Amino acid sequence: MFDIKSEPVSDVSSFSTSFVFAIVPSSSGPPVGYGLAFVMAPSTQFPDAASEHYLGLFNPSNNGDPSNHIFAVEFDTVNGHDDETNFKGNHVGINKNGVRSSASESAEYSDYGSDVKTEVYLDTGDLIQAWIDYDGRSKVVNVTIAPASVIRPTEPLISYPINLTSVLNERMFVGFSASTGKETSFHYISGWSFAINESAPQLDVSQLPPPLKVQSPPPSSPSTFNPLVTVVVPILSAMTLMLILFLASIFRRRLRGENLEEWERDCPHRFSYRDLYKATKGFKDSELIGSGGFGSVYRGVLPSTGCEIAVKKITRNASQGMREFAAEIESLGRLRHKNLVNLQGWCKKQNDLLLVYDYVPNGSLDSLLYHPKDNLVLNWEQRINILKGVAGGLLYLHEEWEQVVIHRDVKPSNILIDISMNARLSDFGLARLYDHDQISHTTSVVGTIGYISPELARTGKASKTTDVFAYGVLILEMACGRRPLESDIFILVDWVMECYEKGRVLDAADPKLNGIYDMVEMEMVLKLGLLCSHYNPESRPSMRQVTRFLNGEDQILAFDPSPYSQITFQSSSGFTQFIPPSSRTSTASFLSSTSIDVGR
């Protein structure tokens, strides 16, 4: 039994489950079993439950009754009770309070990265793996299936919006139910994992037992078929197994002295150290793909699924190691955006702190921009697309998530580029969260020299505008192909400003582009970089305004980057807006006097 509702109790928590099952046909004839179902129910008792289509959960009189408070995902092997939705016998359906499916699809899967669908026959006796994930915030349930030997498909079989608030009680039992007809088929659960507010632990399919072979009864043997046993035993066995696993997990924690810390409650999946050790070949140097002040990043392949991952091994004796570890899990673990790197999970064992991410094959923007393989140069279209992606990720962090997230370390080495050349903002170890109606109270200077805004260096207070400043420096790097600080006398922002004041701003464009770019767009980007890195934080645009500039929805009409300038831009609505003059003094003198070492 689990508490499935979070505070306030009207909200249903997210949950995730993965299991491997087999439906073995009777050897005495064609199978007539009606399949099995993953079930969430308020009790393990189902009075007067019927077999066949009712799956041992319902009967003709209570079928569809909202007071049942039962959520089920059925794996059906015969034509459904309601032919309008269960149109095919070999199908998967999502049910609430009855056997009529709210959503139903033929049992199919696509190979990893492929769009070609292949049918999965549920009643062959082969092992099949299923994944069911419910997002309590978006109110969407995803159901995915595949043969147990196949890597989890990227696209779910069913993605269905459903609000379970009125269906599930505060405390629910979780398990399985199955039913048969006049003849028997046999239902097996070979492996199962379940979790609330995190991804279900992955199953090592290679370690699971195969389903038992069915022996034909002697011809003279009388029938001993008991539908009640066939219905009740699977769900009671599953409930018992779940309770045993839950208690064993608690026991193992106490045995290792690992109490559940506050930040662990809302974190993603916890990996075993053994799996990550195997995945990275023992953290061999040959698998090392990056390093920083807080640790190293290794490429790995999970032995159970064959999926590529990136494992960040944090140095525990670093002064901020544990704090960064907890901060990254707390922030990135709950964030979901196409331009943010996906945190799959974590591992903590004695002095080892490990974070597990999606593997992003093209590496960091820093390496592509300054150390390209085979002298391949990012073209202008790719650079603009990357800038738009980073802007979209920062907009999500600043304005679109449930809290404000300040990244505090925006720079090329913390931006990863995927196979489609899209940007993924990463490394949230310095991130800070606060509510939208509050202000940030951070008072320490963290970040990397060249990307730290003047007010952050003076006061130690990070804000959305300090992220915008760092993004402005990034814009200029992308346009110019030069680092923010290249020597004691070269400062990128000042150099671009000098070019602009001389009326030759395009001289700052990266010569490696060989002039292959839109000149109007290049000028706009250089202006935007100067605007975002303006020394007066009030003169910087928000990330929403930045995205509008990049998408051509707003235009900078008048721009003077001098210390006491007034900046004018016009939005697509026709309204002219003014940004107040700056109160800064000298750019170069300020940066040259900032000598603290906070880079990573």
Phi, psi of 22 (to 5 degrees): -145, 140
Please state, in angstroms and rounded to a whole number, the distance separating the CA atoms of residues 345 and 358: 10
3-class secondary structure, 78:
coil
CB burial of 537-559 (b: ≥16 within 10 Å; e: otherwise) equals: bebbbebebbbbbbeeebebeeb
Is the distance from CB of 16 to CB of 194 less than 8 angstroms? yes
- What is each CA distance from 57 to 3, 51, 247, 433, 481, in whole angstroms? 21, 8, 26, 45, 65
Is the distance from CB of 4 to CB of 170 less than 8 angstroms? yes
Report DSSP state, residue 189.
E
Please state, in angstroms and rounded to a whole number, the distance separating the CA atoms of residues 107 and 269: 27
Query: Which helix (H) or strand (E) element contains residue 474?
Result: helix 464-480
Tell whether residue 313 is among the known ligand binding residues: yes
Is the distance from CB of 107 to CB of 92 less than 8 angstroms? yes
Alpha helices in 225-348 (DSSP H): 227-256, 273-279, 321-332
Please, what sign has the CA dihedral across residues 42, 43, 45, 51?
positive
Q: Which of 275, 409, 427, 467 is catalytic?
A: 409
Is the distance from CB of 226 to CB of 294 less than 8 angstroms? no
Phi, psi of 524 (to 5 degrees): -60, -45
Phi, psi of 274 (to 5 degrees): -60, -45
Report DSSP state, residue 43.
-
Is the distance from CB of 433 to CB of 331 less than 8 angstroms? yes
Please, what sign has the CA dihedral across residues 195, 199, 203, 204?
negative
Q: Is the omega angle on the peptide bond into residue 372 within 30 degrees of 0, that is, cis?
A: no
- What is each CA distance from 139 to 180, 402, 500, in whole angstroms? 32, 16, 50
Length of the chain: 600
Say whether 409 is catalytic. yes
Identity (one letter) of the amino acid at 49?
A: A
Binding residues: 313
Q: Which residues are catalytic?
A: 409
Binding residues for ATP: 313
